Structure 1
Amino acid sequence: MNHASAPAQEATGVEPRVVTVALGSILVRYREYGRPDAPALVLLHGGTSSAATWDRLASTLAGQGWRTVAVDLRGHGGSTRALTYPLDAYHVDIVGLLDALGLDRVALVGHSLGAYVASLVAAARPELISHLILEEPPVPGRDDTDEDGLYAPRFLLESLALLVLRRGYHRRAVVSALRQLHRPNPEWWRRLATIRARTLVVWGGPASHLSHERLALVTAAVPGARLVTIDAGHLVHSKRPAEFYDTVADFLAS
């Protein structure tokens, strides 16, 4: 894997193509690298972030022959600030964007909230997704008896701090997502079994607010999925970019 480490650490100096697409009443902005006719890889960021978080990975993978499309989720970056943010609406946006771009088969990478959305897309439209990478996906409870909860108290405090410190997103979107993800969601768990993409779940190690046990349950629920650990905490792709790139590149090559 050493051949992939150096490019992941270097700045390419290439600027992305920034495009805004109207999907009904919603405007979705994305950042694109690579040839339009290359195999497509779509990247979904976490809450309070934006598509720009993927620039290093997206530009590097484009240099390896991928067309990378990093999307601003609704309520983030250059995409529409909506009145409400039901979680299913995010996946409708992404499926609508894939259809608008004429993409009928893509690899899909998501971080945190984006990983949850990616799982919804892969379950709803299994024929669209060839590879699925879920980096630190949030894990709602299975039912009212599931006492493990979604997040450790420390993460809730960190989330509140981000709401105060960060800009470039609609606070209502993040607060709404946290509230919804804290509710038990047996339907989401059932949907995981319908995913047909080759699936990789990435855990950030002991520094993560998510437990290994919870992500292991998610991995077991997706047919054929596997779980890897990159000891970086929640922001794996930002704090360990070279190792994350190696992991992604090797998985896509498989």
Structure 2
Amino acid sequence: MDDLQAARVNGIRLAYRVAGDPGAPPVVLLPGRGADHTTWDEVIEPLAASWRVYAPDLRGHGQSEWPGDYSLESMRDDVVGLLDHLGVERAIVIGHSLGGVVAYLIAEEYPDRVARMVLEDVPLPVPAGQSVPERPADPFPFDWAMVEQTTDQRNDPGPAWLKRLGEITAPTLVLAGGAASHLPQHEVADLAARIPGAELVTIEAGHEIHKHRLEEFLSAVTAFLTR
């Protein structure tokens, strides 16, 4: 695995990990809220055998810049800006949780940039009725303002986000974490039903499928990507 790199994107520093043959088809891994590229450590090496893998830290996370503005639209545009920086016209986009919301916002707004999409236990864009979690006392590797602002957007998502799921053209795999996940699984199933042609696979692993059932996660993803 190569060293962490960085790009100037939309006026901020975006850090990302890269691995695999530069000539291989590109895959972008987008982590969930509060996580960074290291959440994918066990995923990157197996995927890098067949794909060029890019794993960015979203703004406000890890070693990317913490600018104070954390709309999901800005995260979406950061990823597209990173693709521009890398000279990547189209990529496979794999997103977990909040990273999956960013992924489907890319597929809605920039359909030509997404070759295929995998959504790992990702919420439907409907009002979530969440409260901001209690701020931890210990230092944490993300900006707390990001938690506050993304909670606001989970409670009041963009009005077009739900409708535009039906306009997504990228072949899509939706992975559901099953009964142990904190996300309502009927909403994950509804997400899959709204994306044309999307496939829904449930892996009883809880919210972090790639952490708790790595082999099943990789099997489902690689089967979908190579079909």
TM-score, with normalisation over the residues of structure 2?
A: 0.94
1:105 aligns with 2:90: yes
Match of 2:34 among 31, 43, 48: 48
Contact residue 10 and residue 78 of structure 2 kept, 8 A: no
Q: Which structure has the larger Rg?
A: 1
Match of 1:75 among 60, 67, 76: 60
Q: CA deviation at 1:139?
A: 2.1
Q: Which amino acid aligns with 1:209?
A: H
Where does the alignment leave 5 or more consecutive residues of structure 1 unmatched?
A: 1-14, 142-148
- Could you say which residue in structure 2 is the equivalent of 1:205? 178
Q: CA deviation at 1:150?
A: 2.5
- Could you say which residue in structure 2 is the equivalent of 1:93? 78
Task: Supply the distance in 2 between the matched residues of 1:211 and 1:165 (Cα, whole angstroms).
Answer: 29
Q: Which amino acid aligns with 2:59?
A: R
SS at match of 1:186: coil
- Could you say which residue in structure 1 is the equivalent of 2:144? 171
Output the aligned Cα RMSD: 1.8
Task: Supply the distance in 1 between the matched residues of 2:78 and 2:157 (Cα, whole angstroms).
Answer: 23
- Could you say which residue in structure 1 is the equivalent of 2:207? 234
Q: CA deviation at 1:184?
A: 4.6
Task: Supply the distance in 2 between the matched residues of 1:212 and 1:48 (Cα, whole angstroms).
Answer: 21
- The equivalences for 1:1-254 within 5 A come to 15-63=1-49, 65-141=50-126, 149-150=127-128, 160=134, 163-164=136-137, 167-254=140-227
| Runs of 4+ displaced beyond 2 Å | 163-166
Contact residue 48 and residue 166 of structure 1 kept, 8 A: no
Q: CA deviation at 1:176?
A: 1.1
Which stretch has the larger CA shift, 179-188 or 202-211?
179-188
Contact residue 60 and residue 68 of structure 2 kept, 8 A: no
Where does the alignment leave 5 or more consecutive residues of structure 2 unmatched?
A: none
User: 1:137–1:166: structure 2 CA closer, same or farther, 3 Å change rule?
Assistant: farther
Q: Which amino acid aligns with 2:82?
A: L
Q: CA deviation at 1:209?
A: 1.3
Q: CA deviation at 1:169?
A: 0.9
How many residues were matched structurally? 227
User: 1:119–1:164: structure 2 CA closer, same or farther, 3 Å change rule?
Assistant: farther
Q: Identity, % of aligned pairs?
A: 39
Task: Supply the distance in 1 between the matched residues of 2:16 and 2:178 (Cα, whole angstroms).
Answer: 30
